[in-house]
């Protein structure tokens, strides 16, 4: 079944679910029920809170409706007639939607006694819906507006074949096990505290170790590619953001404050700060390109309802870079960034897909420059034979962009790297360089993030690896497991040797049996476990266990060091 037909099937299933809820809970008010990427949902205004047991009843009622094989009938009527019909039914949310429509005529769909406002299309009969599942309940503001009533949103999914549904449900269960919020707590990586403010992440020692290791890796890779490290303050006067255009185009996402009766902004982006550093001196055409890189923390307002662990936060760090170059250098710079992205995706074993996002409805600059920038991005992708889709109107206000979506071990898609071409900000800030003929020219600016948000990438990475980080990234790389207290000194000696070589080591000094210590190290997803007892003490060796491969036998310290170094070098 193609994507369009699957969407039709799922939308039809949402209507059946609404019919089931209406029959089970008289007095319910219907919201909307669209098909979404992995299924469908429907919003309901109910006087009582639904329970998981209610979902079982709803699914059972849906099966009964499907078995009746009711025909989906399309009904066209004048808008005024539809409003009267929905008023008679007490469907105030449908009346609200209808009142806002400009069309003279509207369409409704009817199956049995159930009628819903809908453009369609639907499958022919309810009997066509074979493989479906009611999944969960959540709260959602009507039309996403926080001042509106909270609806009860019921999620479900539907597939053409039972085996496709079974595979999806299996992946869903696996995704629950991999949830980065669950693993973040179990592995003691990070927390978010209500009393300190939602949307702000507190990294624990282990989480901070992973983050720091990742950031050091990014610094090294950027320096290899000719980027220079910079660092800017977290706040700046509002004048800077007026010049950049953020106060016009991005105001609803910004935090404002007053200092000495002057307006300041907590930075939502790093680009204006990097521009100020570029402007500090006159640049020659021979000096270009100039590439500035920063692990810059930014702050953006997000509605509380969309905050989600590390994936959607209000304060986050970007691996942010800005390239200032001549127009004739632009394509080479874009290609270099694409190569960088490809390398990083290989390191973390992510597949990915690419979208070219074009001019939005609200934009700055000239259409000529937008078209020129879009054409160069498109040519760069073609030159590297990168498959891509055009995403109309999804560029940022100052320029078009390449968006890279990561695909994790379960095939789920995550927002990742981005590359944006900007003719606008260099003009707004009067950036110049001296050309070879002595004239003053305006450089082109490229905004570039290889991982995007470090927080979001870490969240995706936790779920991608199911918390089992590769050795080079693991917060604890080796766990030493002494069998008894008499082996602690030997364990300390080995730990010191490993630490001197830069490895992150812990010793399990608890008075527990060795089996319990091994189980704990497995639960903490530590890559290597080194067991020491009488035999190992006497032969100056260790018994080695690997998180995935199990017992690797007895090795001397030199051998295990070689193995660890090899794994780190290969980023295994």
Same domain, 433 and 542: no
Same domain, 392 and 343: yes
Distance CA 354, CA 338 (A): 11
Tell me which of 464, 496, 514 is where a domain ends. 464
Taking only the tens of pLDDT, the chain with its 572 residues reads 556 689 999 999 999 999 999 999 999 999 999 999 889 999 999 988 999 999 999 999 999 999 999 999 999 999 999 999 999 999 999 999 999 998 889 999 998 889 999 988 999 999 999 999 999 999 988 988 878 999 999 999 999 999 999 999 999 999 899 999 999 999 999 999 999 999 999 999 999 999 999 999 999 999 999 999 999 999 999 999 999 989 988 899 999 999 999 999 999 999 999 999 999 999 999 999 999 999 999 999 998 878 899 999 999 999 999 999 999 999 999 999 999 999 999 999 999 999 999 999 888 888 888 899 999 999 999 999 999 999 999 888 888 999 999 888 888 888 899 999 998 899 999 999 999 999 999 999 999 999 989 999 999 999 999 999 999 999 999 999 999 999 999 999 999 999 999 999 999 999 999 999 999 999 999 999 999 999 999 999 999 999 999 999 999 999 999 999 999 999 87
Same domain, 424 and 518: no
Query: Taking Cα atoms as reference points, which of 541, 429, 526, 404 lies closest to residue 474?
Result: 526
Same domain, 539 and 454: no
Same domain, 229 and 363: yes
Percent of the chain scoring above 70 in pLDDT:
99
Same domain, 406 and 441: yes
Same domain, 67 and 45: yes
Q: Is 124 within a domain?
A: yes
| Known catalytic residue at 271 | yes
Same domain, 565 and 523: yes
Tell me which of 464, 487, 505 is where a domain ends. 464
CATH value at residue 50: 3.30.980.10
Same domain, 275 and 236: yes
| Known catalytic residue at 401 | yes
Angle at 319 between CA 316 and CA 201, to 5 degrees: 20
Q: Is 181 within a domain?
A: no
Distance CA 154, CA 137 (A): 5
Distance CA 31, CA 153 (A): 9
| Known catalytic residue at 322 | yes
Structure tokens at 402: 């390449």
Q: Is 345 within a domain?
A: yes
Same domain, 220 and 298: yes
Same domain, 359 and 453: yes
- Tell me which residue range forms the domain holding 95: 3-172
- List of E strands, 194-281: 202-203, 228-229, 235-237, 255-259, 262-266
Distance CA 481, CA 491 (A): 8
Tell me which of 409, 429, 464 is where a domain ends. 464
Same domain, 425 and 524: no
For the chain, the domain total comes to 3
CATH value at residue 379: 3.30.930.10
Q: Is 184 within a domain?
A: no
Catalytic residue among 271, 325, 422, 524: 271
Catalytic residue among 122, 178, 447, 464: 447
CATH value at residue 506: 3.40.50.800
Neighbours of 258 (CB within 10 A): 9
Sign of dihedral through CA atoms 104, 110, 115, 118? Answer: negative
- Cβ–Cβ < 8 Å for 498, 532: no
Q: Is 558 within a domain?
A: yes
Length of the chain: 572
Q: Is 265 within a domain?
A: yes
Q: Is 190 within a domain?
A: no
| Known catalytic residue at 318 | yes
Q: Is 158 within a domain?
A: yes
| Known catalytic residue at 447 | yes
| Known catalytic residue at 525 | no
Catalytic residue among 11, 181, 322, 359: 322
Say if residue 62 is exposed, middle or buried (CB neighbours under 10 Å; 0-12, 13-18, 19+): buried
Catalytic residue among 29, 70, 274, 300: 300
């Amino acid at each position: 079944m193609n994507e369009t037909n699957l969407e039709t099937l799922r939308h039809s299933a949402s209507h059946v679910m609404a019919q089931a809820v209406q029959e089970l809970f008289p007095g319910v008010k219907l919201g909307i029920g669209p098909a979404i990427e992995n299924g469908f949902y429907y919003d309901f205004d109910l006087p009582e809170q639904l329970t998981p047991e209610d979902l079982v009843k709803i699914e059972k009622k849906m099966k009964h409706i499907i078995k009746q094989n009711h025909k989906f009938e399309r009904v066209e009527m004048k808008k005024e007639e539809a409003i009267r019909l929905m008023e008679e039914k007490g469907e105030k949310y449908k009346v609200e939607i209808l009142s806002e429509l400009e069309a003279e005529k509207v369409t409704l769909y009817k199956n049995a006694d159930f009628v819903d406002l809908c453009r369609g299309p639907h499958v022919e009969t309810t009997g066509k819906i074979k493989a479906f599942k009611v999944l969960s309940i959540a709260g959602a503001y009507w039309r996403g507006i926080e001042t509106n009533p909270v609806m009860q949103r019921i999620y479900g999914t539907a597939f053409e074949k039972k085996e496709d549904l079974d595979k999806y449900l299996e992946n869903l269960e696996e995704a629950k096990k991999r949830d980065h919020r669950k693993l973040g707590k179990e592995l003691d990586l990070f927390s978010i505290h209500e009393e300190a403010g939602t949307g702000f992440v507190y990294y624990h020692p282990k989480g901070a170790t992973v983050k720091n290791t990742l950031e050091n890796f990014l610094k090294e890779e950027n320096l290899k590619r000719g980027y220079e490290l910079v660092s800017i303050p977290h706040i700046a006067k509002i004048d800077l953001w007026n010049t950049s255009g953020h106060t016009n185009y991005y105001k609803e996402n910004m935090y404002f404050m007053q200092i000495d009766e002057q307006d300041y902004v907590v930075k939502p982006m790093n680009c204006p700060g990097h521009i100020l550093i570029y402007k500090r001196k006159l640049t020659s055409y021979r000096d270009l390109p100039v590439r500035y890189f920063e692990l810059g923390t930014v702050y953006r307002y997000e509605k509380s309802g969309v905050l989600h662990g590390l994936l959607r936060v209000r304060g986050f760090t970007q691996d942010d870079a800005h390239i200032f170059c001549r127009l004739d250098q632009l394509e080479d710079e874009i290609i270099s960034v694409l190569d960088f992205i490809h390398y990083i995706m290989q390191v973390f074993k992510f597949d990915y897909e690419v979208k070219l996002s074009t001019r939005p409805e609200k934009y700055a600059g000239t259409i000529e420059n937008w078209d020129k920038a879009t054409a160069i991005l498109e040519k760069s992708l073609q030159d590297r034979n990168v498959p891509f889709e055009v995403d109309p109107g999804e560029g940022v206000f100052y320029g078009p962009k390449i968006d890279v979506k990561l695909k994790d071990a379960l095939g789920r898609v995550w927002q990742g790297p981005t590359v944006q071409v900007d003719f606008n900000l260099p003009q707004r800030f009067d950036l110049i360089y001296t050309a070879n003929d002595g004239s003053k020219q305006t450089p082109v600016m490229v905004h570039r993030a290889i991982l995007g948000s470090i927080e979001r990438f870490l969240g995706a990475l936790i779920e991608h690896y199911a918390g089992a980080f590769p050795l080079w990234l693991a917060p604890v790389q080796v766990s030493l497991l002494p069998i008894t207290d008499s082996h602690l000194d030997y364990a300390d000696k080995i730990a010191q040797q490993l630490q001197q070589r830069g490895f992150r080591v812990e010793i399990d000094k608890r008075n527990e049996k060795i089996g319990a210590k091994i189980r704990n190290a497995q639960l903490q997803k530590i890559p290597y476990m080194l067991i020491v007892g009488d035999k190992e003490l006497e032969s100056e060796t260790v018994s080695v266990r690997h998180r995935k491969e199990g017992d690797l036998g007895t090795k001397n310290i030199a051998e295990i060091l070689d193995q660890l170094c090899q794994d780190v070098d290969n980023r295994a």
